[in-house]
Structure 1
Amino acid sequence: MTDRPFPDHRQAALALLNGNHRLSRKAGQFLGQLAVDPTPMSEAQAGWLRKLLERAGLPLMAEGGAA
C-alpha cells in the first residue's frame, strides 16, 4: 500500500474494504456506500472515514481531495 493520501473518498473506502482490516458490519455498509455514491460526504461521514483510515494505518484523504 502507498503512503500517499487518497485523492477521494471512493478510493479510501475501497482500500479499507479490499484490505485485511477488521470492520464491523455497519462500517462495511458505510464504506460500500462511499465506494458507489459520488455525492460529497458530510462532516460526520468524513470524521468516521478518517477514524477508520487511522485505525487501519492507512493514509488519510488528500487536502482538497474530493470529499
Structure 2
Amino acid sequence: MTERPFSEHRLAALALLNGEYRLTRKAGQFLGQIAVDPSPMSEAQADWLSKLLEKHELPPLAEGGAK
C-alpha cells in the first residue's frame, strides 16, 4: 500500500462513505457521525475506524489523526 495515511479521521470516514464499499447500516451511521463531529474519537471509535480502513484496503490514519 503506497498511499499516504489519512491526516484526520473525518477524511478517512468520508473516503469510506464516498467509496464503493459495502457497509452495514451501523457502520454508515458511525462514519457519518465522525465525519461531521469535530470532537476527538474515543479509543473504541479509533479502533473501529482502523478496522474498517484495513478491511477495505485503505490507508490507515496518520499518527495523531484521531483527534
TM-score by length of 1: 0.93
* Matching residue of 1:33: 33
Q: Higher strand fraction: Structure 1 or Structure 2?
A: 1
Q: 2:49 & 2:23 partners in 1: Cα distance?
A: 12
* Matching residue of 2:57: 57
Q: CA RMSD in A?
A: 1.2
Q: Which deviations, in whole Å up to 9, do the C-alpha atoms of 1:25-44 show, x marking residues without a partner? A: 00000000011000000000
**Structure 1 spans left out of the alignment, 5+ residues:** none
**Structure 2 spans left out of the alignment, 5+ residues:** none
Alignment of 1:7-26 (within 5 A): 7-26=7-26
Task: After the TM superposition, list the runs of 4 or more consecutive aligned residues in structure 1 that deviate by more than 3 angstroms.
Answer: none
TM-score by length of 2: 0.93
Q: 1:64 & 1:29 partners in 2: Cα distance?
A: 23
Q: Is 1:4 the equivalent of 2:15?
A: no
